Amino acid sequence: MDECPRCQTPLERLSLGEVTTLACNNCGFADVPVDHESRPREYESWRDAFNRFYQE
């Protein structure tokens, strides 16, 4: 069986009707296709957060 790409735990094969997917019981990964693109998050440093707080 395949290993989870996140935590390398063996994946479990789940089926419902004619649809089958792989899932990880350890970290929650599920090999489910999605119709969106992810955007990288912009993180704010503590210094920038404090500066924004004191400016407002």
In a domain, 7, yes or no: yes
The answer to whether position 21 is within a domain reads yes
Tens digits of per-residue pLDDT, 2-53? 898 889 999 999 888 888 889 998 998 888 777 777 787 888 999 999 999 9
Q: Which of 40, 37, 10, 38 is nearest to 24 (CA)?
A: 10
Evaluate whether residue 56 is within a structural domain. Answer: no
Domain count, the chain: 1
Q: 41 lies in a domain?
A: no
Residue 1 binned pLDDT confidence (cut-offs 50, 70, 90): low
Domain that holds residue 1: 1-31
For the entire predicted model, the pTM comes to 0.49
Residue 54 counted as domain residue? no
Q: Rounded CA gap, 29 and 19, in Å? A: 17
Structure tokens at 14: 């789940």
Task: Using DSSP, state whether 52 is helix, strand or coil.
Answer: helix
Q: Could you give the 3-state DSSP secondary structure of residue 51?
A: helix
